Amino acid sequence: MAEVLRRRRTELGMSQADLATAAGVDKRQIRRYEAGEQQPVLSVAVAIAKALKISVGELAGIPSHEVNLSGDWWAAWQTFKDGQQVITLQQVHFAQQSEFVAVETTTRGVAVEDGGYHWRGELRLWDNEILMGWYAALDGSVRSKGTMYFVLHPHGQQMAGRWVGMSYDGKIVTGWGAIARDGDTATNIIDQLKVEKGQE
């Protein structure tokens, strides 16, 4: 557990003091846990795991067979503005805790006047191959919200799927979506989907 705790805290960019505050324990206790001098009681382990965004099992060193999707990604979307197709590319950040993945944009993709907006959502990973969830605009003036469905590539480096939601073009609008570790790959997946499956 000491190694998992230390490694995960470092991955999240947290100091021992940060983790202690987030978990509600003394900083000296975190130091003892990381040194392997002590083991936390269950209630403290639960608080530490929650602060580290992992399961108690993962904290205890039980291997997880779930693919790790945490980190920065590029999302390409087939969207529409005034009935015209637009391919939008945005950088997004995934924060995974067990099978749940919180998603939030870090770029708008296009200017506000051209329909760009920030959004956040949640996805759930099923059997390391399907991600399903929702999204909602963070900008108060934007109504966009809906659902997402992605099929994960076996190596976990990209995913392709569809979104369905509300936009200024209607209450039920849909388009292709792709997420990859780089923007070019995400855009290429959209192009392939359009050719293989059709424009809509």
Tens digits of residue pLDDT in 131-177: 999 999 998 778 889 999 999 998 788 999 999 999 877 889 999 99
Question: pTM here?
Answer: 0.68
Report the alpha-carbon angle 22-103-107, nearest 5: 110
User: Considering the chain, what is the average pLDDT of its residues?
Assistant: 90
List pLDDT tens digits, range 78-116. 987 777 888 999 999 999 987 899 999 999 888 877 778
Alpha helices in the chain (DSSP H): 2-11, 16-23, 27-35, 42-52, 56-59, 183-197
Both tokens of 110, joined, read 């296009």
Q: Is the separation of the CB atoms in 19 and 51 below 8 Å? A: yes
* Ordered domains of the chain (ranges, CATH): 2-59 (1.10.260.40), 71-197 (2.40.128.120)
Contacts 24+ apart (CB under 8 A), 153-157: 154/129, 156/67, 156/68, 156/69, 156/128, 157/181
